[in-house]
Amino acid sequence: MLKIAAYHSPTTLIEAAALLAEDGRTAIAGGTDLLVNPRYMVGVREVVDIRRLGLNYIRVENGWLYIGAGATMRTVAQRVELQGLANGILARGAAVCGSPNIRNMATLAGNIASALPSADTPPALLALDAEVVLVGMRGERVVPLDSFFVGPAKSVRERDLIRELRIPLAGSNALRGGFYKIGRTAEDISMVNAAATLKIQDGKISMARLVLGAVAPVPLRVSRAEEALVGQAATEETFQRVAEIVRDEVRPITDHRATAEYRRRISAVATVRALRQAAGLATPGEEWQHA
């Protein structure tokens, strides 16, 4: 039994934003993080259910893919629009979030709002240049996901509501992706995860994104590695070199899941494996896990 003084179930965004503008309130959708992790309930007395706002859409419009705040992980994992985008890296990230029951409840927006460094969807979203559309009393604002996360469980969201996430589709046909997760057991919170997107022209990498999870206070875009990829041939040698950069750039911690040293080491492995997938060089033997 949670100590909650009121449950609100608004039906319009304006109503929801107004409710959330008050102290001691938080938005709830799937509830799978919120209700089981006391850290999200500190100071919370009332909850605002956002599932009746009509936000459970995934749609393509004007060159953008929009994922509403109500869309569950399962929807994200199963929709063809997402399975076809950059080898389906976001769909695959969503498909390894928790268990099937959790994926039926948890939302993609909730995964972003929770802002945990080990989450499985932010790396793919960052690699796809996603943006977050926030709604508050002052109206709507669009924040690139790249500048959304501030620290563990901290973001620039404040009291705003995530209305949707959006991904630019321009040129996405040429986008190839990879995602690799390393957990302790088959179903686990990531010790390290990595997502990559590449555009390859005439054998050379023309664009690269490389993002790692659980190696820093926020999902880490490794710009130095991205720069090192561009202009290079998409080969094993290039990837190994980039992995060394990643090894230097990550700032992991030691916790009860893994030591910093181990995370640093496997961040290089996850990098290479994600890049190999993106370049179509992955060997099946590596693909034990969901990646």
Partner 1 sequence: MDNEYYEPGGGNIADAAHQHDRQVGRTRVVGQKKRRVDARPLVTGAPVYAAEFEQPNMLHARILHSPHAHATILHIDTSKALALAGVRAVLTHEDLPRVAHSTAGQPYPESSPYDAYLLDRRVRYVGDWVAFVAAETPAIAEEALSLITVEYELLPAVFDPMEAMRDGAPQLHEPDITHPNSGQHFGDIYDAAHNIAAHEVITYGDFDSAMSEADIVVEGEYSVPFISHTVLEPHVCVAYLDGYDRLIVVSSTQVPYHTRRQLAAVLQLPISRIRVVKPRVGGGFGSKQEMLLEPVAAALALKTRQPVRIEYSRQEEFTAGRFRHPVILRMRSGVRRDGTLLAISMHSIGNAGAYGTHSFTVTRSTGHKTLCLYRAKAYLFRADAVYTNLPITGAMRGYGAPQGFFALESHIDEIARRLNMDPLEFRRKNHVQKGDWDPMEMVEEEGVWRSKRQFRSCGLPQCLEKGAAAFGWGQPFERGDGKPIRRGHGMATAMQGSGVASFELGGASIKLNEDGSFNVMTGATDIGQGSDTILAQIAAEALGVDMDKIIMHSVDTDSSVFDYGSYASSTTYISGGGVKVAAELVQKQVLDVAGDLLDCAPEDMSIVDSVIYTPRGPSHLRVADIANETLYGKHRQQIMAKGDFWTDDSPAPFFAQFVEVEVDTETGRVRVTKAVNALDLGKAINPALASGQVEGAVAMALGYALSEEVKFDDQGRVRNAGFVDYKVMSTLDMPEMTTILVEDTEYTGPFGAKSAGEVPTNGMAPAVANAIQDALGVRIRSLPITPEKILQALDEL
Partner 2 sequence: MPEVDIALTVNGRAVKWHVEAGETLLEALHAHHLKGTKLICGTGDCCGCGVLLNGNSINACCMLAAQAEGGDLLTIEGLAQEGKLHPIQEAFAQEGAAQCGYCTPGFIMRACAFLQEHPHPNETEVRAALAGNICRCTGYVKPVAAVLRAAEMMHE
The neighbouring-strand residues paired with 176 are 198
Q: Are 98 and 188 in contact (CB under 8 A)?
A: no
Site for partner 2 in 164-203 (CB under 8 A): 186-187
Q: Does residue 186 belong to the site contacting partner 1 (CB under 8 A)?
A: yes
Q: Are 9 and 28 in contact (CB under 8 A)?
A: no
Residue 103 Cβ, how far from partner 2 at the closest point, in Å?
Answer: 9
H-assigned helices in the chain: 13-20, 73-78, 80-83, 89-95, 100-105, 108-114, 122-127, 223-229, 236-249, 260-279
DSSP-assigned letters across all residues of 44-85: --EEEE-TTSS---EEEETTEEEEETT-BHHHHHH-HHHHTS
Backbone angles phi, psi at 207, to 5 degrees: -150, 140
Residue 268 Cβ, how far from partner 1 at the closest point, in Å?
Answer: 9
Measured from the CB atom, is 250 or 258 closer to partner 1? Answer: 258
Question: Quick one: what does residue 207 bind among partner 2, partner 1, none, with the CB cut-off 5 to 8 Å set by partner type?
Answer: none
Q: Does residue 118 belong to the site contacting partner 2 (CB under 8 A)?
A: no
Q: Using the rule CB under 8 A, give the single segment among 61-69, 149-157, 210-218, 263-271 that binds partner 1.
A: 263-271
x-or-dash pattern for partner 2, window 75-104, by CB under 8 A?
-----------------------xxxxx-x
- For residue 185, what is the DSSP state? S
Question: Quick one: what does residue 15 bind among partner 1, partner 2, none, with the CB cut-off 5 to 8 Å set by partner type?
Answer: none
Measured from the CB atom, is 103 or 221 closer to partner 2? Answer: 103
Site for partner 2 in 24-43 (CB under 8 A): 28, 30-32, 35-36
Measured from the CB atom, is 130 or 194 closer to partner 1? Answer: 194
Backbone angles phi, psi at 117, to 5 degrees: -65, -20
d(CA 77, CA 99): 12
Number of residues that bind partner 1 (CB under 8 A): 20
Q: How many CB atoms lie within 10 A of CB 140?
A: 12
Contacts to partner 1 by CB under 8 A: 1, 182, 184-189, 191, 256-259, 262, 265-266, 269, 285-286, 288
Contacts to partner 2 by CB under 8 A: 1-7, 9, 28, 30-32, 35-36, 46-47, 49, 51, 74, 98-102, 104-105, 186-187
